[in-house]
């Protein structure tokens, strides 16, 4: 049995959401993700987690768009940066559609940091004012940082930087056939210098020559497996206690 709305018949969809009015909405990006990982890594990771959570709680997974707000990475020509207004309009339409169909509980699994603010805006605009509806957002790669104690060799950017130990480990577990192990690299993060209290901006190409920030060479499938298990358990626990 599928949990993806796009794979259901209309009859199956209507029966499923009547039984359990919970929908998982995933977002991601299509951007450079180091030389070793696919450009769709953010969405692919979010959907893999959605599949595991949906299986446990009997939720449906809503249709997704392939790109996200990746303007920070546009200095790499292989990045497909979706204008934020398009993402916002899509999510607003999607949430209204699902609400109209009877969905009352929303789990947003956001695989790309650039989408987090937009998702929060949609939740606050459409869902929070309706007292009978509930919503939660999982900012996936930040969520992993809160649930990875004892798993990785590194902490901070060396582990959780772009396409680094954490992200590469997750993909070695979820999609090993898509990881080019010959391209694993270690790129030291460029920190804020003496002005760490400032929100600073720079081209991504000034921060990394290949899209990796941190150490991907220490990644393993075993680390990714334990992290995914722990994170899925945590999401299900939240759902059962709060939604």
- 237-242, long-range: CB within 8 Å, 24+ apart, which pairs? 238/136, 239/22, 239/53, 239/57, 239/105, 239/107, 239/136, 240/57, 242/134, 242/136
Q: What is the pTM of this model?
A: 0.96
How many structural domains are present in the chain?
1
CB atoms within 10 A of CB 50: 28
- Any idea what the CATH number is for the domain that residue 87 is in? 3.40.50.10310
Give the tokens for residue 121. 């805006």
Give the tokens for residue 225. 């497996």
Per-residue pLDDT 10s for the chain (243 aa) are 899 999 999 999 999 999 999 999 999 999 999 999 999 999 999 999 999 999 999 999 999 999 999 999 999 999 999 999 999 999 999 999 999 999 999 999 999 999 999 999 999 999 999 888 999 999 999 999 999 999 999 999 999 999 999 999 999 999 999 999 999 999 998 876 788 888 888 899 999 999 999 999 999 999 999 999 999 999 999 999 999
CB atoms within 10 A of CB 220: 16
Residue 146: domain span: 5-242
């Amino acid at each position: 049995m599928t949990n993806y709305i796009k794979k259901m018949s209309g009859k199956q969809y209507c029966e499923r959401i009547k039984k359990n009015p919970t929908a998982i909405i995933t977002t991601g990006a299509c951007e450079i993700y180091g030389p070793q990982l696919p450009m769709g890594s953010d969405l692919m990771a979010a959907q893999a987690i959605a599949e595991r959570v949906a299986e446990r709680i009997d939720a449906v997974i809503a249709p997704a768009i392939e790109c996200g707000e990746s303007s920070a990475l546009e200095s790499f020509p292989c990045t497909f940066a979706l204008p934020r207004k398009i993402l916002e309009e899509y999510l607003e339409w999607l949430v209204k559609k699902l609400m109209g169909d009877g969905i009352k509980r929303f789990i947003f699994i956001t695989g790309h940091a650039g989408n987090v603010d937009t998702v929060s805006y949609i939740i606050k605009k459409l869902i929070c004012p309706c007292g009978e509806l509930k919503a939660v957002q999982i900012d996936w790669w930040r969520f992993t940082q809160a649930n990875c104690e004892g798993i990785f060799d590194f902490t901070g950017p060396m582990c959780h930087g772009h396409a680094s130990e954490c992200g590469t480990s997750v993909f070695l577990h979820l999609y090993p056939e898509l990881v080019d192990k010959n391209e694993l690299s270690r790129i030291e993060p460029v920190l804020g210098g003496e002005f760490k209290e400032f929100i600073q901006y720079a081209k991504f190409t000034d921060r990394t020559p290949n899209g990796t920030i941190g150490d991907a060479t220490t990644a393993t499938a075993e680390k990714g497996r334990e992290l995914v298990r722990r994170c899925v358990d945590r999401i299900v626990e939240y759902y059962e206690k709060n939604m």
